Chain A
Amino acid sequence: MTTLALTVYVLVWPLVVLIVMGVIGRAFFAEWREARRSGQDLI
């Protein structure tokens, strides 16, 4: 593998991690807001 390909190969995972973080975080806070709005327990 070339240096560029290896660099991308190593650094792509933190990027995917950030995306997953965004997806989970957004869903959590949406559920939290909904629970507060409806007066129910989050869990």
Chain B
Amino acid sequence: MNDLDSVQFSAVIIVGLLVFFYGGTFYISTRIGKKQENADGYMTAGNKIGFGISAASMTATWIWASSMYASAASGYTYGISGPIHYGLWGALMILFIYPFGKRIRSVAPKAHTLAEVMHARHGRSSQLMLAGSNVVGSVISLMSNFIAGGVLIAMLSPFTFIQGVIAVAGGVLLYSLWSGFRASVLTDFVQVMAMLGAVAIIVPVIFFAAGFPAVFESGAANLTPQQGNFFSSDAFLGQGAPYIAAVLAYAIGNQTIAQRLFAVREDLIKPTFITATIGYGAMVIGVGMLGVLALYLGFEPTDGDINNLIPEMAATYLPAILLAVFFIMIIGALSSTADSDLAALSSIMMADVYGQNIAGKGKANPKTMLLVGRITMVVATAAAVAFASLQLNILDLLVFVGALWGALVFPVLASFYWDKVTNKAFTTAVVAALALFLPVRFGWIPMSGGIGLIVDILSVIGIGVVLGLMAFGFFGIRVGKIVGVVAALVSAPFVIGFLHDYATLSASLVAYAVSTVVCWAMSVGQTERFDFALIRQRTGDFDDDDPRRDPTPEPAKEA
């Protein structure tokens, strides 16, 4: 067996691996590069990507370095059910969004971003709320992936963290800059093949190299009863339940998902999302099993830092050649998400900021849009490198963005189905939900007595909203309402008087509940109705002169 020091790569080997990976992806991107790129192609690749590329891209995008680290951390912390409570719910994010995705695509077949559709449906404030949260979320994601790359390179080579961050950022920008989303999705195929292949080899190799299955017996004493229980309530309440609450929020709030939704051929949305669900789940849960194995082994990560767990398990139990494969797997995971974030950011700046708000839809110049997209990529990369170098504590910002996405779920989804939802209802609902989320999440007010009871009641409503929306997506309004009401009633006895102690979970549920109640209350009495056919007219290609498109669209008329 190896220890971390003995298998640390030399500078030459690390440079060789990076050149192999980023040189290869750059070469692939040059194969599809066009001298005159097209603005719509740069954002959505013409809305007609096939199943193979789109399923690969969706899987690769949703898997980032943190997915693997966090799944293993969940296994290490919560025991044998830990990876399930991370990977399964993360996978279901993809699955539960697809029925909504089909609806979104049917009303806006040629859109580029979800925020662009919100502009067509409501107007500027709802668009900018969604676009703003997308920008912050993607920059955070970009920074996190660069940090993961920097940490890995610093751990396994003589290079420093900063040098690692710059190498990864430069590599991703190199192959993404010219062709944008088209390069992102094509390279995703190669990256996901590398990641999946690596997991298929590495997990069994570490399993046997570490002495399993015998260690399941000799190391059983290292697990607490909760860690050894597949139906652990600790794992569910600490990891699974908050994640379930976030399922719809992350899928709705993440432009990388929406971008692929608008790019895939419309009839292939369902198989694409189902394949990505299975691929993501199996891969992330599989890597998470390394955390379970570490727990049985009594493996202690350096400095107690759980983020060191996966690299150190790999360094300890893998021969050098497989450690190189592991390195490529992590670099592939973080690069595929980082290039998707760059493509998402550039689309938002191209379509939402320049296309809709600066030039105006009918007057936007596709060449200027491309320039805006490429400048966005360079600026976003530089900003993410700077933030990564400073190693800022972004937890509060991340929590805030997550809450904003949770508050947006019902108003966004309702806006695609319910013709009574207005811009005022949308905006007020989101702001009200955030206003209640913050004090609950950060403990600004004591949760004792009546306040705690109110939070618990709102949490019950939030549970009904989350499960009701999930059921609605697949089975329609009637089943959705029944599931929502039953879920709220069944959960009430277990939640009231108890859940306010779990701030992360209850705050998310409060955000769902408040945004839903406010949006519903402000919309239900409206007499004016929105014509969804207008969305198709108000969104569309920037490059052609489609005569069906309204050249000077007005913002949605609000009741």
Contact = CB atoms under 8 A, between A and B. Distances in A.
Given A11-B207, A43-B186, A20 B52 contact: no
Interface residues of A, number: 28
A21 B55 CA distance: 10
Contacts of A10: 203, 207, 212, 289, 292-293
Contact of B200 (A3, A14, A23, A25): A14
A3 B216 contact: yes
B286 A14 contact: yes
Interface string A4-43: 1011011101111110110111111111000000000111
A1 B229 CA distance: 8
A1 to B, nearest CB: 6
A38 B80 CA distance: 50
Contacts of B55: 23-24, 27
A14 B204 contact: yes
A29 B52 contact: yes
B51 A31 contact: yes
B193 A13 contact: no
Given A1-B80, A11-B204, A31 B213 contact: no
A13 B282 CA distance: 5
Contacts of B230: 1
A6 B204 CA distance: 13
Contacts of A25: 52, 193
B196 A21 contact: yes
B496 to A, nearest CB: 34
Contacts of B217: 3
Interface in B260-314: 275, 278-279, 281-283, 285-286, 289, 292-293
Count class of interface residues, chain B: 35 or more
* A contact patch SS: helix
A1 B217 CA distance: 11
A11 B285 CA distance: 11
A6 B228 CA distance: 11
B203 A20 contact: no
Interface in B138-183: 182
Contact of A43 (B182, B192, B193, B212): B182
A13 to B, nearest CB: 3
Contacts of B289: 9-10, 13
A41 B32 contact: yes
Contact of A28 (B189, B214, B279, B286): B189
Contacts of B207: 10-11
27 contacts: A3-B214, A3-B217, A6-B80, A9-B289, A10-B212, A10-B292, A11-B203, A13-B199, A13-B203, A14-B200, A14-B204, A16-B286, A17-B282, A17-B286, A18-B196, A18-B200, A20-B278, A21-B200, A23-B55, A24-B56, A24-B189, A24-B196, A27-B51, A28-B50, A31-B52, A41-B32, A43-B32
Interface of A: 1, 3-4, 6-7, 9-11, 13-18, 20-21, 23-31, 41-43
Interface of B: 32, 45, 49-53, 55-56, 59, 80, 182, 185-186, 189, 192-193, 196-197, 199-201, 203-204, 207, 212-214, 216-217, 230, 275, 278-279, 281-283, 285-286, 289, 292-293
Given A10-B207, A14-B200, A31-B50, 18 more contacts: A1-B230, A6-B213, A6-B216, A9-B289, A10-B289, A13-B282, A13-B283, A14-B201, A17-B200, A17-B282, A18-B196, A23-B275, A24-B189, A24-B275, A27-B52, A28-B52, A28-B56, A42-B53
